[in-house]
Amino acid sequence: MSSAFKSLREMKMYRENFQTELIRIGIDSIPIVSLAAAFSGAVTTVQTAYQLVSPLIPPKIIGAVVVPSLTMELAAVVTGFILSGRVGARIAAELGTMRVSEQIDAIEAMGLNSVGFLIVPRVLAGIVMVPVLYITACLVGTFGGILAAELTGVVTAGEFLQGAREHFDNFGPYFGLIKAFVFGFLITAVSCYIGYYTHGGADGVGRSTTRAAVMSCVLILIADLVLAVLLL
Amino acid sequence: MIQIEHVYKSFSGRTVLHDVSLEISEGCTQAIIGQSGSGKSVLMKHLIGLLRPDRGRILVNQVDIGQINYSELREVRQQFGVLFQGGALFDSMSAFDNVAFPLRTFTRKTDQEIQLEVQKCLDLVQLSNIGLKNPDELSGGMRKRVALARAIALRPRYILYDEPTSGLDPETSNAINQLIKGLADRLDITSVVITHDMHSVLSIADHVAFIHNSRMHWNGSVDELQDSDDEILRSFITANEYRIGPSSSS
Ligand SMILES: Nc1ncnc2c1ncn2[C@@H]1O[C@H](COP(=O)(O)OP(=O)(O)OP(=O)(O)O)[C@@H](O)[C@H]1O
Ligand SMILES: [Mg+2]
């Protein structure tokens, strides 16, 4: 058996793991991310309307405020927080269980690279799928905002979109995408690391799970600020 | 050949292995016995580089596995089949997929060939009809046997068994012992069997090593074991006596 053939076989397995993770991190998170984004959009719209209510300010400004808030901050951070709990905790629990039940040892004992087999596909899936979820969150969030605007009657959908278009900052979506990319890396990398180095039985798995969710959130907050300082 | 040379290992100041040496020759079945907590599983993990000795070295085919790089270590590991004490089945896969995993990963076999091969392995461990179950739907002894099937699936050159018969009824234990013996005899596999069970030792092993108080207390052939007058060894063996029926000392 040539080693080139072996690594080909291995690549195939890594790819399969990657595809599984794309679904579990990305597709499976779409409903909850959409839900959170829709509500964020709606709440921001209602609150902006409340704060700006004045005959001197045209209501289309609401769209000009809500859409950049979503694209530059809310969509990315809300997605990140949800994935910290949903994906970060899951990854840490999964790898932690594999560690304490010697499944990681078993992978290594077969002569496979457990880091390549378990961690790389998850981190790659994270940096691919979090930006996708971010885009979803932007679209659904905007839709939630428009819906709230229409239902409460503060501004029509047309005015909302017109305001958003007139004050659209091209850098906004790029900035959000960069954030999403960084968050995707941070959540998966930190959760994999914590899970992979779990010790101490079921207790240890529990500790790792909590730690992964908390650490992911804290790192998102820090990265959010750092990126804002660096890029704006 | 596997050579363990003056291996020391401690965990946070607690010595687990103290100057342990052992030579396991090709084609031979080596039993390792000792009390619970004496470091048998730790020693086994050293043989495939999952743990590194604090001092001393492990040689597999004259190669010091502490001195080679990771990809060379992986090549060495691919010659081993390992049954972990707890089974270490992948709980995200069915029993069938667990056994198929090494075949899919390391061979060119078609799905149909793999199907046959897995079925053969499951038959060998007397679990013909559980393929599609998940590990958490199996009993402890069944999990152990699925893990055994996975360890032998590739017919590796070396097989390490950590307590292959613990938790099994006597009849199934005998069957597993016969399986281990059969693999060793027919395919010339070098086996290391960690066990508490003197019945297993007597029926399958060529050589026996007894770890006591972190040290290699006694080490010799099965015949020598039965004649030994070492007191600690005797008391370890006689504690097992109720299992050693007249039929097994053949
Ligand atoms: N990763 C580890 N970290 C710290 N201590 C460990 C570790 N692995 C094993 N030990 C300790 O090493 C000692 C020997 O453990 P080991 O699992 O080798 O025992 P054993 O001989 O296999 O026992 P048993 O027959 O019960 O399986 C134990 O005291 C255990 O607490
Ligand atoms: Mg043990």
Which helix (H) or strand (E) segment is B192 a member of? strand B190-194
Q: Is B46 in the pocket of ligand 1 (CB under 6 A)?
A: no
User: How many independent structural domains does chain A possess?
Assistant: 1
What is the B11 CA–ligand 1 centroid distance (Å)? 9
Atom of ligand 1 nearest to the CA of B39: 18
Q: Answer yes or no: do B108 and A105 touch at CB < 8 A.
A: no
Q: Is B214 in the pocket of ligand 1 (CB under 6 A)?
A: no
Chain B contact present for A2, CB below 8 A: no
Condensed to tens digits (0 to 9), the pLDDT of residues A87-144 reads 999 999 999 999 999 999 999 999 999 999 999 999 999 999 999 999 999 999 999 9
Q: Answer yes or no: do B91 and A103 touch at CB < 8 A.
A: yes
DSSP annotation of B81 reads: E
Chain B contact present for A116, CB below 8 A: no
Residue A54 counted as domain residue: no
- Residue A209 CB-half CA count within 13 A: 16
- Domain enclosing residue A217, as ranges: 10-46+60-231
Alpha-carbon separation of residue A9 from A12, B72, B107 (angstroms): 5, 18, 9
CA distance B171 to B199: 12
CA distance B44 to A65: 64
Q: What contacts A38, CB < 8 A, 6 or more positions away?
A: A140, A141, A143, A144, A147
Q: What is the mean pLDDT of residues B89-113?
A: 93
Residue A151 counted as domain residue: yes
pLDDT greater than 60 at residue A33: yes
With beta carbons under 8 A apart, name residues in chain B contacting A101.
Answer: 86, 88, 91
Chain B contact present for A9, CB below 8 A: yes
Of all protein residues, the one whose alpha carbon is nearest to atom 29 of ligand 1 is B37
Mutation site for A-interface testing, chosen from B78, B144, B155, B159 by largest number of A Cβ within 10 Å: B78
Residue A52 counted as domain residue: no
- Contact predicate A184/A221, CB 8 Å: no
Domain ranges within chain B, ordered by starting residue: 91-155
Q: Where are the beta strands (DSSP E) in A91-197?
A: none
**Least trusted range by pLDDT, from A208-212, B14-18, B104-108:** B104-108
Residue A1 counted as domain residue: no
Condensed to tens digits (0 to 9), the pLDDT of residues B24-36 reads 999 999 999 999 9
Residue A3 counted as domain residue: no
Q: What is the mean pLDDT of chain A?
A: 93
Residue A161 counted as domain residue: yes
Of all protein residues, the one whose alpha carbon is nearest to atom 19 of ligand 1 is B37
Identity of the residue in A9, A102, A105 whose CB atom sits nearest the CB atom of B105: A9
